[in-house]
Structure 1
Amino acid sequence: MRADHTAYPPRWAGIVLRGRTAGARTPATVRRPRRPAPGRPPRGGGLRAAYERARRAWDRPLTAYYVILGASLLITVLGLVMVYSASQIQALNFSLPDSYFFRKQFLAAAIGAGLLLMASRMPVRLHRALSYPLLVGAVFLMVLVQIPGIGHAVNGNQNWISLGGPFQLQPSEFGKLALILWGADLLARKQDRRLLSQWKHMLVPLVPVAFLLLGLIMLGGDMGTAIILTAILFGLLWLAGAPTRMFVGVLLVAAVLGAALIGTSSNRMARLGCIGAADPGPGDACWQAVHGIYALASGGWFGSGLGASVEKWGQLPEPHTDFIFAITGEELGLAGTLSVLALFAALGYAGIRVAGRTEDPFVRYAAGGVTTWITAQAVVNIGAVLGLLPIAGVPLPLFSYGGSALLPTMFAVGLLIAFARDEPAARAALALRRPRQGGRAGVSWKSMRRRVKKRPSGER
């Protein structure tokens, strides 16, 4: 009888067949193609395998936590480097040391790092408890700004309080954070009581309080901050599930008020006319917008090198604040600006993921509000530098010079980190990663599977 390997059961495939009969030709081995384990990407190269590996890595419970932490820290560190490079000439023009602005920004970043760490370790209930005191404090300080002798004007906008010496405070920056926390707590409590289906509970008192903050900001003439605050309000209403007609109605009211405020100011009308400008125009009205484009255009692919900017030598106003992105493009080139855009995109996407995966309504509203704030402000600032939007005078979050803008933003990033750690899957992953007593780890951080002793070969 001829030995036929197909007669053996499938479980014996791959085992060496040693039995022979007279005249029989027995194959040395019988192999079957290996199939990838369920849930694992196929081995080997190719775009599909790379895509599967990237998708599985992104779906890990702690990915949003690491992306938010890493992206925010990279933006802050790169911002410190660019503030030092872009502010040297400005400091020398004021007869100050060349590192004057950098040292102030570094001090603000150190304090902001403490606020970030504190916010990331605070429980959610404590965040909610801080919402009302923070809102009352922000409103009180914004009222003080309008009192003569206390408020201080910078570049025509009276939105500052002098703290003595070189330090100043802009309360409207803290008003953004206050609106997010207070609005998130308000909407979460109304959702628990199932009141958000009624339009009056959707709008009141959220919209009146937001308009109170907007009115105090516009008394000082800061149109840019008012735009960001309006974007935060719309983000909260969108997350709360506002009906389309209600959303459009609020948007129309805001658009009419904005058009009236722009039309009654010659300075704002001039800024609106500088969109897409290619030359400074009569009276150099578009000088800043045009020289921002010049800085980006002269950077090329990889820039002229750190410290080698030409536009910061008096040609480009505000090189270390509103137009620091233009100096980044000139010194680091297209590669540098695309890196900054990629970091902001990663931070925004991770914030959306945190807001979308949570089951806590307060976390959803707060995470969505913070993400709206950072991304909207980045779009307004970068759009103005690129000549696609009017110059609004808002800093690039975590990047531009300004301690009043940096401190609440870093606290808001700490909120996102706390919310990312508070996800059920993230909490389980962190708990499994803690070492057991005796110094031995209980799990592998990559797979989050319990380690087992190695079995002897052949044991099933």
Structure 2
Amino acid sequence: MTATAGLSALRGLLARPLASYYLLLSSAGLLLMIGLTMVFSATSVMDFAADGNASASLAKQAVFAVVGIVAFWACQRLPASTYRSVGRTVLAVAIGLLLVLNLVLAYGRLTGQEDPRLGPLQAHLNWLYLGPVQLQPSELAKFALVLWGARLIVRKGAALGWWKELATPLFPVVGLLAVLVGYNDLGTMLCLLAIVVGLLWAAGVRSRVFAVLSAIGLAGVGLLIAAASLGAGSGERDATNYRFARLTSFLEDPEKCKLDGCWQIYQGRLAIEHGGWFGVGLGKSSLKWAWLPEAHNDFIFAIIAEELGVVGCTVVLVLFAVLAYSGLRIARRVEDPFRRLAAAAVTTWLVSQAAINIGGVVGLLPITGLPLPFISDGGSALVVTLAAVGMLASFARAEPDAARALHARPPARWVRLVWAPLPPLPGRRRRSAAPPAPRGSVPRSRARREDDQAAPRGARTGRAGTASERRR
């Protein structure tokens, strides 16, 4: 009886109009709080040993968290028409930043030194340094691919079943992003491919397309590794061989290669073994004392396992499961095709990135260097992730039941400043032979009409519907 009552109460909670929004908000917020706590725990010792300030990394991550929360607040207020409009622009900016990053890196490889004419513009691996600001263009490329890809697939509609429609222009753009990103960051390239798979899966593409894409993706990974190895010097070739060893280390016994290419995964397994069921206690990890490389970033899940044990790891996995359920629930319940595709793509992006990171830490997948969303140390990744979750939150508020509930009772004025959606971007003016609108009427743009058509009648008018609808 107790279990039955609990299931009934859970169904009642999930049946509420804003259940998707609150599930998304709570899971993302708890993951962010765990992330800030674990970043402080993983970096406090080394920061104190370096400059005497144990909270240096925490303060930096907290600043990015605040920026990310502002981005979340802004993105949850934007309508779908704005996301449709800015997708191409965001993609162009991301490709431009990736080109600049690769050009600066190529110049450094050719000359073996930094160019003084570049001034404050420098680059290292996946990071682009613009004076005091450092950016990771690959993170912006993920969000750009979600927006642009969802809009493109919606415009193609039923014609998407033909290979010609898939090949133009989706595959060339994805291939360009894979080359610009995958040369230095294989993990992010895999994440981009996961986003494409999520978009096509939500669009209902046939299964054989996914088989062909998987074969092309594996072949592309091999070609990128081979090209990086053949086109590099001796030092770069050593670095490429090291990256290849990291990719294949999960197939080997860490006890036999712990001094060669398996040191990181060996120390990660020691941390998991040391933690046991309940962990050694928060802040009491011993392997973060320079034993485990990238303990604050790629392998922060190992520190969670050591300090919080299996219980702490289970909490993190459950929160990611709730996030995945919320995203897929939003994608299933919204009526607008663009919202459905974008929600499925963002959910696939976050869940696949978390699975790749955790799988690499526990030794089930190759080590790709992807950060754990919301938890790993990293400013660009955190800001873009929170912005993507903000877009999901705006889609959750566009669910039919949620839209009716929000328009049933107008909120207070101070609540509208935080909660009410922002107006859409102004549409392009088109010449028309229709007579001018009467004075006092407000013309609506095409994007606004699309949003109104996606919402139920009660939500568009702010009422419960017409008298005939109420009689029904």
- TM band (smaller chain): 0.7 to 0.9
1:271 aligns with 2:246: yes
Calculate the aligned-residue CA RMSD, in Å.
Answer: 2.0
Aligned residues: percent identity? 43
What displacement does 1:238 show? 1.6
Q: Which residue of 1 aligns with 2:457?
A: none
Q: Which amino acid aligns with 2:130?
A: L
Q: Which residue of 1 aligns with 2:138?
A: 172
Q: Which residue of 2 aligns with 1:76?
A: 32
Q: Which residue of 2 aligns with 1:320?
A: 296
Q: Which amino acid aligns with 2:128?
A: I
| Counterpart secondary structure, 1:180 | helix
CA distance in 1, matches of 2:376, 2:370: 9
Residues 29-48 of structure 1: matches in 2 within 5 Å? 45-48=1-4
Q: Which residue of 1 aligns with 2:196?
A: 233
Check whether the contact 1:82–1:328 (CA below 8 A) recurs between aligned residues. yes
What displacement does 1:87 show? 0.9
Describe the superposition over 1:294-341 as per-residue Cα deviations: whole angstroms up to 9, x where unpaired: 111111222111211100001101111001111111111111111111
What displacement does 1:435 show? 6.0
1:122 aligns with 2:88: no
Higher RCO, 1 vs 2 (CA within 8 Å, ≥6 residues apart): 2
Check whether the contact 2:161–2:206 (CA below 8 A) recurs between aligned residues. no
Unpaired segments ≥5 residues, structure 2: 105-114, 116-120, 230-239, 414-463, 465-472
Check whether the contact 1:280–1:287 (CA below 8 A) recurs between aligned residues. no
1:147/1:115 Cα in 2 relative to 1: closer, same or farther (>3 Å)? same
Describe the superposition over 1:32-74 as per-residue Cα deviations: whole angstroms up to 9, x where unpaired: xxxxxxxxxxxxx332232222123223221110000111011
Check whether the contact 2:258–2:266 (CA below 8 A) recurs between aligned residues. no
Q: Which amino acid aligns with 2:327?
A: G
Greater helix proportion: 2
1:285/1:242 Cα in 2 relative to 1: closer, same or farther (>3 Å)? same
| Counterpart secondary structure, 1:98 | coil
Paired residues, what number? 386
CA distance in 1, matches of 2:405, 2:350: 28
Q: Which residue of 1 aligns with 2:123?
A: 152
Q: Which residue of 2 aligns with 1:111?
A: 67
1:330/1:282 Cα in 2 relative to 1: closer, same or farther (>3 Å)? closer
What's the TM-score once normalised by structure 2's chain length? Answer: 0.78
Check whether the contact 1:289–1:387 (CA below 8 A) recurs between aligned residues. yes
What displacement does 1:100 show? 1.3
Q: Which has the larger radius of gyration?
A: 1
Q: 2:328 aligns with which of 343, 352, 370?
A: 352
Unpaired segments ≥5 residues, structure 1: 1-44, 438-449, 451-460
CA distance in 2, matches of 1:63, 1:130: 28
Q: Which residue of 1 aligns with 2:15?
A: 59
What's the TM-score once normalised by structure 1's chain length? Answer: 0.80
1:280/1:94 Cα in 2 relative to 1: closer, same or farther (>3 Å)? farther
CA distance in 1, matches of 2:207, 2:278: 45
Return 380-389 or 141-150, whichever deviates more.
141-150
Q: Which residue of 1 aligns with 2:221?
A: 258
| Counterpart secondary structure, 2:128 | strand
CA distance in 2, matches of 1:436, 1:349: 31
What displacement does 1:234 show? 1.4
What displacement does 1:195 show? 2.5
Check whether the contact 1:202–1:242 (CA below 8 A) recurs between aligned residues. no
Return 200-209 or 108-117, whichever deviates more.
200-209
1:202/1:56 Cα in 2 relative to 1: closer, same or farther (>3 Å)? farther
Check whether the contact 2:278–2:311 (CA below 8 A) recurs between aligned residues. yes
Check whether the contact 1:62–1:421 (CA below 8 A) recurs between aligned residues. yes
